[in-house]
Amino acid sequence: MTAQILDGKATAAAIKSDLTARVAALKEKGVTPGLGTILVGDDPGSQKYVAGKHRDCAEVGIASIQRELPATATQEEIEAVVRELNEDPACTGYIVQLPLPKGIDENRILELMDPAKDADGLHPMNLGRLVLNEPAPLPCTPNGVLTLLRRYGVEIKGAEVVVVGRGVTIGRPMPLLLTRRSENATVTQCHTGTKDLSAHLKRADIIIAAAGSAHLIRAEDVKPGAAVLDVGVSRSAEGKIVGDVHPDVREVAGFISPNPGGVGPMTRAQLLVNVVEAAERSVG
Ligand SMILES: Nc1nc2c(c(=O)[nH]1)N[C@@H](CN(C=O)c1ccc(C(=O)N[C@@H](CCC(=O)O)C(=O)O)cc1)CN2
């Protein structure tokens, strides 16, 4: 068996095409949605992701607001830019690209954001709303994973899902989305303290690998027919992306998301969804 590809590029393109029409409708009502980004430092990966976000904006008609600070920026300097975007009426929503340089209090920066402008769904108020089952912008990568599973008809209801990783952008919020009544999955969260990862993986109908550990998920640990989503990013000596999932898993899994070309483009598409939804709320 060779796994069906969960094509994030194609799915993101379909989402962007729908958003293009919605942005055009907003513009007819006099509203141009605007996405702001705050990028601190010169990490090449972060620069690439932010550039991609603005390319996407141009594609669907969303205005771009870009703020860049050097790696030496102080907490106060970053906070000043957060306050500026909180007040900017042209900015419908914005993100602070993570991770921030060492020494910066990331949580304090996120807390300072206006939760109504939180395009990433990572403000503590919005994560709290998710816990409480209240409407909130959803974190982009977990929502991208869910959208991909739904588009390809992977059964989520009642599925045994293993999430590997506990980072703030995916590992922490992913189980919150999956265990909502609308999804009804059963979730096990694994991490570096998990004693027998292999035993958990072998039982999973869906594996979401977000550990950032190259080829951590091996074919012998995957149940035949399982859906495997590769969210991990490590780099080879040549600078190429190496995911968390070993290439041999394709021969065992029922569905697999490539990396690159799987969850990454979905993260970007869901960010645009959050901005357009915020703009639509503003016109009622
Ligand atoms: N504020 C945030 N910071 C970070 C987030 C986030 O959701 N919000 N997630 C990641 C990085 N990220 C978005 O910012 C992101 C990662 C990957 C991609 C992507 O399209 N990847 C491509 C490959 C790109 C390449 O060649 O390097 C793919 O998978 O096909 C987009 C966004 C951490 N920080």
Among 7, 120, 230, 244, the one annotated catalytic: 120
CA atoms of 16 and 268, how far apart (whole Å): 10
Is 165 one of the annotated binding-site residues? yes
Confirm whether 53 is a catalytic residue: yes
Percent of the chain with pLDDT over 70: 100
pLDDT digits (tens, 9 = 90+) for 257-269: 999 999 999 999 9
ipTM of the complex: 0.98
Best residue among 267, 272, 274 to mutate for probing ligand 1, ranked by most atoms within 8 Å of CB: 267
CA atoms of 154 and 29, how far apart (whole Å): 38
Q: Are 272 and 119 in contact (CB under 8 A)?
A: no
Please give the distance, rounded to the nearest whole angstrom, from the Cα atom of residue 203 to the centre of ligand 1. Answer: 29
User: Closest by alpha carbon to 30, among 88, 84, 89, 85?
Assistant: 89
CA atoms of 74 and 76, how far apart (whole Å): 5
Count Cβ atoms below 10 Å from residue 79 Cβ, excluding itself. Answer: 16
pLDDT digits (tens, 9 = 90+) for 120-169: 999 999 999 999 999 999 999 999 999 999 999 999 999 999 999 999 99
CA atoms of 200 and 130, how far apart (whole Å): 26
Does the global pTM surpass 0.80? yes
